[in-house]
A = this chain, B = another copy of it.
Amino acid sequence: MGFDIEKASRAELRDIQDQRLEESVTAVYENVDLYRKRLDEAGLSPSTIDTTALTAVPFTTSADIRDEYPDGLFTVPTGDIQRVHTSSGTTGKPKIFGYTRDDLDTWSKIIARSLETSGFESQYTVLNPCKYGLVSGGLGWHDGLEQLGATVVPSATADMDRQIELIRDLTVDGLICFPSFALDLAGIIERQGGDPTELSISTITVGGEPTSQELRAEIAEAFDAVVTEHYGLSELFGAGIFTECEECQDGAHVWEDHFYPEIIDPRTDERVDDGEEGELVLTSLSKEAMPLLRYRTGDIATMTTDECACGRTHARISVTERMRNGISIDDTTVYPTEIESTFLTEPETAPYYRIDLQRTGQHDAINITIERKQGLDVDQSELADRLHERFLAELSLSVDEITIATPGTIDRTLGTKANRVYDNRE
């Protein structure tokens, strides 16, 4: 399924993109006031836009979606909407996203393609502990797994003991989860005296929060499994829309027949070159109910259009962080994944940590607590000294205090996004 398109030439992909872009732009021009107004103001019309001319189109932002709440960006009447999802919306109105029947079919096929790409097979039994509800994660994966033909275990509502019991009793092959869920699962099994590598799980895909390659390697080792990362965004369908391939695990293939990706410099708004870091901007090419043009994701990424060793031609994107996760310390900005990536190359550290920020006078203090690995004889002060030096040399980050903690003392998140940063500054 879908393998031909995954290896289409870049020129063939460009043709598909230009054609679908024109359809999307026509749909929003005819049905969405906001887009008609903006395109008119920019002197653009559906027939004049192709992927090279896309740079003239104004960005769509998160604020635009909030302003058009609930259905100002829909291109179809409510009766044609088959489902809505929302953002998590912890404060104020959540963003609302609409899907037609065709959108749900397209999305489930995209996810099934991603699942196959990252090594899942139709005869697998797969545990899906992602929450099913307003947020797109659980249902998105569920529909994609059904499309793939796998046996789905919708374990969202179960506690950890039940999850472990289901993995054992149903001989689960695959797992889709937050990286912290995989870590918690391995940790609990080990504390129960078990060995996660002896479980039947062979294939794991993690997402929902950015992780370093080092953290994914930790999970792979814990389960003796293939671990890939996926990326999704409810503004453009939702969970699992691009994915690392099982073979190379070197950037997530963005399915370019459905999405047009750009990386821009967030200060100049100009496109940057392949391999350079910037903000990920996405245009939907096949979304029916709510197509978005040049949506600023707020995620920091690099992109390459080099053909992957797996033979797939679709560009690969490495999302390194969320811009909003950036920690400003005095004059520098540092990201949790950079910190994680640094200390996880030390053999004595476990992937559990917290970052505490405090204001002391004119100075921002940053304290990092990292668990040491179970069962190793660690010289704690020597390890802390070494990490002080590495953070300074590699990240230009002067850490005020590094604490090496006893295994198991950092809070586990048990099925939700991990909280790494505790900012106690005013």
Tell me how many residues of A have a C-beta within 8 Å of chain B. Answer: 41
A377 at the interface (CB under 8 A from B): no
A170 vs B131: C-alpha distance when bound (angstroms): 22
- Cβ–Cβ contact B134 & A78, under 8 A: no
Across the interface, A154 reaches (CB within 8 A) one of B70, B101, B134, B157, namely B134
Check if B151 sits within 8 Å of A78, measured CB to CB.
yes
How far, in Å, is A172 (CB) from chain B's closest CB?
11
A156–B70 CA distance with the chains assembled, in angstroms: 19
Given contact pairs A83-B154, A169-B70, A170-B84, A132 touches B139 in the complex (Cβ within 8 A): yes
Q: Which residue of B lies closest to A70 (CB)?
A: B169
- Specify which of B69, B89, B155 is in contact with A134 (CB 8 Å cutoff): B155
A58 close to chain B: CB less than 8 A: no
Whether B156 lies near A133 (C-beta < 8 A) is yes
A125 surroundings in chain B (CB, below 8 A) = 78, 81
A44 CB, nearest partner CB in chain B, Å: 32
In angstroms, Cα B82 to Cα A82, docked, is: 23
Quick check: B79 and A146 within 8 Å, CB to CB? no
In the bound complex, do residue A170 and residue B70 qualify as a contact, i.e. CB atoms below 8 Å apart? yes
Contact A133 to B155, CB < 8 A, known contacts A70-B170, A146-B82, A169-B70: yes
- Residue pair B154, A82 in contact (C-beta under 8 Å): no
Among A70-95, those with CB < 8 Å from B are: 70, 78-79, 81-85, 89, 93-94
* A138 to B157 Cα, complex, angstroms: 11
CB of A170 to closest CB in B, whole Å:
6
Contact indicator B84/A153 (Cβ below 8 Å) = yes
Instruction: Give A104 to B146 CA distance when docked, in angstroms.
Output: 10
A321 to chain B, nearest CB (A): 26
Partner pick for A133 among B101, B157, B169, CB 8 A cutoff: B157
Q: When the two chains form their complex, are residues A134 and B151 in contact, meaning their CB atoms are under 8 A apart? A: no
Shortest C-beta distance, A277 to chain B (Å), equals 34
Cβ of A176 to closest chain B Cβ, rounded Å? 14
Taking the full assembly, how many copies of this chain does it contain?
A: 2
- Residues on the B chain within 8 Å of A122, using CB: 79
Q: Is A402 an interface residue (CB 8 A)?
A: no
Check if A2 is an interface residue, CB within 8 A of chain B.
Answer: no
Taking the complex as formed, is A152 at the interface, i.e. its CB lies under 8 A from any CB of chain B?
Answer: yes
Residue of B79, B162, B169 near A69 (CB, 8 A) is B169
Asked whether A158 and B170 contact (CB < 8 A) given A78-B125, A82-B149, the answer is no
B139, A154: Cβ atoms closer than 8 Å = yes
Residues of B within 8 A of A198 (CB): none
A132 engages B138 (CB within 8 Å): yes
Q: How far is the CA of A171 from the CA of B157 in the complex (A)?
A: 28
Q: Give min CB distance, A312 to chain B, whole Å.
A: 27
**Least CB separation from A77: chain B residue:** B123
Q: Is B82 in contact with A152, judged by CB distance below 8 angstroms?
A: yes
A41 close to B (CB within 8 Å)? no
A404 adjacent to chain B (CB < 8 Å): no
Known: A84-B152, A132-B138, A134-B158. 9 other contacts (CB 8 A): A70-B169, A78-B171, A79-B151, A83-B146, A83-B153, A89-B162, A96-B169, A131-B157, A132-B133
Q: List 18 A-B contacts (CB under 8 A).
A: A78-B123, A79-B122, A81-B125, A83-B146, A83-B152, A89-B162, A96-B169, A101-B146, A104-B146, A131-B157, A132-B133, A133-B155, A133-B156, A133-B157, A134-B154, A134-B162, A135-B157, A139-B154
> 10 tightest CB-CB pairs across the interface, nearest first?
A133-B157, A132-B132, A133-B156, A79-B123, A81-B151, A83-B152, A70-B169, A133-B154, A84-B153, A134-B157
